[in-house]
């Protein structure tokens, strides 16, 4: 069970994200990832779910979004957002690494503003590599990291290579 302080901290983060989303709407950021109707998306480290909700709208009723986070508080936020927005194409996954999704099943993985805080980043990248389709995209952003660090961290184990850099995100594909 989450402590009161954990809940306050998460609530503050969620408020910060709401402000962020006013100036940089998730839909605009997601356009760089190439999401299309019918895609399967994994929002890894989804937090309160603003990108999950936006992705669910983009993939439509034939697509699916998996909102994954280690925080039970995040899961509650996402479930509230699902109900509020009347979405039936988002599934929540509480995890700190393994998603239990099938191999090669995801079209786009969203890895936004979480990498810098991962305890085992290479293990997470291996899991994302496993679930990503061979023609899939890992869409990455982390404002806590410099561009050269992002590229190095994501390519050093030869799992991914940089496909292109957008205005807000980096797109990686399987090596």
Which residue range is the domain that position 108 belongs to?
4-174
Q: What is the pLDDT of residues 25-44, one digit of tens each?
A: 888 899 999 999 999 999 99
Burial class (CB in 10 A: 0-12, 13-18, 19+), 109: buried
pLDDT at 90: 98
Total number of domains in the chain? 1
pLDDT at 15: 73
For the chain, residues with pLDDT lower than 70 are 1-2, 4-5, 7, 14
Q: What is the pLDDT of residues 148-159, one digit of tens each?
A: 999 999 999 999
CATH of the domain at 34: 3.40.50.150
């Amino acid at each position: 069970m989450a402590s009161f302080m954990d809940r306050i901290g998460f609530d503050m983060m969620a408020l910060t994200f709401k402000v962020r989303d006013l100036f940089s709407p998730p839909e605009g950021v997601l356009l760089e990832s190439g999401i299309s109707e019918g895609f399967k998306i994994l929002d890894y480290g989804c937090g309160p779910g603003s990108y999950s909700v936006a992705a669910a709208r983009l993939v439509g009723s034939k697509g699916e979004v998996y909102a994954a986070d280690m925080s039970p508080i995040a899961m509650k936020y996402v479930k509230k957002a699902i109900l509020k927005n009347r979405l039936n194409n988002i599934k929540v996954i509480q995890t700190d690494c393994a998603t239990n999704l099938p191999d090669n099943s995801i079209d786009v993985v969203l890895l936004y503003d979480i990498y810098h805080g991962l305890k085992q980043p290479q293990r997470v990248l291996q899991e994302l590599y496993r679930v990503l389709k061979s023609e899939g995209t890992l869409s990455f952003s982390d404002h806590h990291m410099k561009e050269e660090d992002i590229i190095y961290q994501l390519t050093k184990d030869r799992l991914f290579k940089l496909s292109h850099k957008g205005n807000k995100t980096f797109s990686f594909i399987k090596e």
